Structure 1
Amino acid sequence: MLTIKEIAEMANVSRTTVSRALNNSGYVSEEARERIQKVIEETGYAPSEQAKSLRTKKTKVIGVILPTIQTETSSKIVSGIDMELSKQGYQILLTNTHLDKEKEIEFLDLLKARQVDGIILVATNTDPALIQKINTLNIPLVMIGQEADGLINVLYDDYHASRELTSFLISKGHQKIAFIGVDESDRAVGLLRKKGYMDEMKANNLPTDPAWIQKGIFDIDSGRNAMKLILEEAEEKPTATFAVTDRLAIGALSYLKEKAIRVPEQMAIASIGASEISQYVNPPLTTIDYQNEKAGKEAAHQLLATINSQKPIKKIILDYRLIIRDSV
Structure 2
Amino acid sequence: MTNQSRKATIYDIARLSGTSPSTVSAALSGAWKSRRISEQKVEFIRRIAAEQGYSTNMQARGLRQAKSGLVGMIIPVHDNRYFASMSQSFESFARDRDLVPVIASSMRDADEERRIVETLISYAVDCIFVAGATDPAAITDLCTAANMRHVFVDLPGPGAPSVISDNYHGARMLTQTLLQGVQPRKLPARDRIYFIGGVATDYATARRIEGFRDVL
TM-score by length of 2: 0.58
Counterpart selection for 2:120 from 111, 124, 139: 111
Change (3 A) 1:130 1:116: closer
Distance 2:80 2:177 in 1: 26
Identity %: 21
Q: Report the equivalent of 1:180.
A: 196
Change (3 A) 1:81 1:142: same
Larger Rg, first or second structure (1 or 2):
1
Is the CA contact (8 Å cut-off) linking 1:121 and 1:144 kept in structure 2?
yes
SS at 1:194's partner residue? helix
Distance 2:135 2:154 in 1: 10
Counterpart selection for 2:91 from 82, 90, 109: 82
Supply the AA of the counterpart residue of 1:111: L
Change (3 A) 1:124 1:168: farther
Distance 2:201 2:125 in 1: 29
Counterpart selection for 1:193 from 201, 208, 212: 208
Supply the AA of the counterpart residue of 2:153: I
Is the CA contact (8 Å cut-off) linking 1:60 and 1:116 kept in structure 2?
yes
* More displaced stretch, 189-198 vs 99-108: 99-108
Q: Report the equivalent of 1:48.
A: none
Distance 2:201 2:115 in 1: 19
The alpha carbon displacement at 1:172 in A equals: 6.0
Q: Which runs of 5+ in 2 are unaligned?
A: 1-61, 185-191
SS at 2:194's partner residue? strand
Q: Report the equivalent of 1:284.
A: none
TM-score by length of 1: 0.40
Supply the AA of the counterpart residue of 1:180: I
The alpha carbon displacement at 1:178 in A equals: 1.7
SS at 2:92's partner residue? helix
Supply the AA of the counterpart residue of 1:140: R
Change (3 A) 1:141 1:173: same
Distance 2:82 2:207 in 1: 18
The alignment of Structure 1 onto Structure 2 pairs a total of residues equal to: 147
Supply the AA of the counterpart residue of 1:173: V
SS at 2:179's partner residue? helix
Supply the AA of the counterpart residue of 1:109: E
Note the alpha carbon deviations across 1:211-242, whole angstroms, 9 max, x for none: xxxxxxxxxxxxxxxxxxxxxxxxxxxxxxxx
Note the alpha carbon deviations across 1:177-204, whole angstroms, 9 max, x for none: 22224335532x2321121112222xxx
Change (3 A) 1:132 1:195: farther
Pairing 1:58–2:67 present: yes
Counterpart selection for 1:151 from 160, 165, 173: 160
Distance 1:195 1:157 in 2: 12
Is the CA contact (8 Å cut-off) linking 1:65 and 1:121 kept in structure 2?
yes
Change (3 A) 1:135 1:57: closer
Change (3 A) 1:73 1:112: same
Is the CA contact (8 Å cut-off) linking 2:73 and 2:104 kept in structure 1?
yes
Supply the AA of the counterpart residue of 1:177: I
Cα root mean square deviation, aligned: 2.6
The alpha carbon displacement at 1:105 in A equals: 2.1
Is the CA contact (8 Å cut-off) linking 1:124 and 1:186 kept in structure 2?
no
The alpha carbon displacement at 1:101 in A equals: 3.4
Change (3 A) 1:172 1:130: farther
Distance 2:161 2:140 in 1: 12
Note the alpha carbon deviations across 1:99-133, whole angstroms, 9 max, x for none: 23333222211211222221111124565334433
SS at 1:151's partner residue? coil
Change (3 A) 1:118 1:71: same
Q: Which runs of 5+ in 1 are unaligned?
A: 1-52, 202-328
Is the CA contact (8 Å cut-off) linking 1:66 and 1:96 kept in structure 2?
yes
Change (3 A) 1:110 1:195: same
Change (3 A) 1:181 1:104: farther
Change (3 A) 1:144 1:127: closer
Distance 1:94 1:140 in 2: 16
Distance 1:125 1:200 in 2: 30
